[in-house]
Structure 1
Amino acid sequence: MNVESDRKLIFVFTGPDGSGRKTVADSVGATLGIAKVLSYATRKPRPGEVNGQDYHFITPELYEQFERAGDFIESISIGGSRYGVRGEDIEQSLRQGGSVYLIVNPEGAQLLKDRYGDQAVRLFIYADRRTVQERQQESGLDAAIVQAKMDQYETAIAYQPNCEHAFENYDLAHTVFDISNTLEHYLQRNLVERD
Structure 2
Amino acid sequence: MAKKVIVITGPTGVGKTTVAKYLEQQWHMARVITHTTRTPRADEKNGRDYYFETSDSFNKNHYLESVIYAGAQYGSSLEGLDRAWQKSEIVTIVLDTAGAITYAQKLADKVLILYISVSDSNVLRQRLAKRGDHPEQQQHRLQSTEYLRDLTLPPELVGRATLINNDNWHKTQEMLQEFMILCGIIK
Instruction: Please report the TM-score for the alignment, with normalisation by the length of structure 2.
Output: 0.87
RCO comparison, higher one (Cα < 8 Å, 6+): 1
| Unaligned residue ranges in structure 2 (runs of 5+) | none
Partner of 1:3: none
Aligned AA for 2:150?
A: A
Q: 1:91 & 1:12 partners in 2: Cα distance?
A: 15
Q: 2:71 & 2:181 partners in 1: Cα distance?
A: 38
Q: 2:4 & 2:138 partners in 1: Cα distance?
A: 33
Q: How does 1:151-166 map to 2 (within 5 A)?
A: 151=143, 152-159=146-153, 162=157, 163-166=160-163
SS class of match (1:134): helix
Aligned AA for 1:183?
A: M
CA deviations over 1:153-182 (Å, ceiling 9, x no partner): 431122256242011112223212321331
Partner of 1:193: none
Aligned residue-pair number: 181
Structure 1's consecutive aligned runs of 4 or more residues displaced over 4 angstroms after TM superposition are: none
Partner of 1:100: 91
Q: Does 1:7 find its partner at 2:16?
A: no
Which is higher, the Rg of structure 1 or of structure 2?
1
Q: Compute the RMSD of aligned alpha carbons.
A: 1.9
Range with greater deviation from structure 2 (155-164 or 19-28): 155-164
SS class of match (1:65): coil
What percentage of residue pairs aligned between the two structures are identical? Answer: 24
Q: 1:41 & 1:155 partners in 2: Cα distance?
A: 20
Partner of 1:140: 132
| Unaligned residue ranges in structure 1 (runs of 5+) | 1-5, 191-195
CA deviations over 1:51-71 (Å, ceiling 9, x no partner): 2221111222211222xxxx1
Instruction: Please report the TM-score for the alignment, with normalisation by the length of structure 1.
Output: 0.84
What's the CA shift for 1:102? 0.2
